[in-house]
Structure 1
Amino acid sequence: MPTQKSDLPIRNSLRLNPAKLLRSKWTAVSPVNREKHFIVTALIEPEIPDAAPQLISLEAVLTRRRFDLHWHELNDSSRWLQGWR
């Protein structure tokens, strides 16, 4: 039986697992206010028990500013690169 391809475009070859994102490091492709390097500081648990986290909390290394982001957005290679570069 042939496999079907998704209609969604693949923006990055990364296969992210939300459970393993905690303390991972990311680089913003287009830094704003000199905030280039980020660390995932928290997985925000959903209200539904046993559901996978959908949101993560990112913290800028330079300024310590935090913001929440849907973890799927890290797959967008036009905005985020895995690791610090």
Structure 2
Amino acid sequence: MSAPDLDDPAQRRAYVRELRGVGRPLRLAALAITLVGVFLAVAARMGRLPEWIPLLVILTGGAFMVAAVVQRTQYHRRRMRGE
């Protein structure tokens, strides 16, 4: 696969669209996990859960987001090298 010509507006738009799809499942999972953590935090504030459980879930969502960023960055580097 060759590197995209980012000077051409049409190719740049196509590459941006392509890049948005990379890591999308991980980003959506990170969002979902973080939202679950927020709901658990509300439950913990009501005294129904220990407070460390929502923190652990939110940190897991953050780890998923970091993994998605790393995946996307690696893809971009490989693509720019023409691999």
TM-score bracket, normalised by the shorter chain, equals: under 0.3
Return the structure number with greater strand share.
1
Rg larger for: 2
TM superposition score normalised by structure 1: 0.21
Q: Which has the higher contact order (CA 8 A, sep 6+)?
A: 2
Q: Write 1 or 2 for the structure with the bigger share of helix.
A: 2
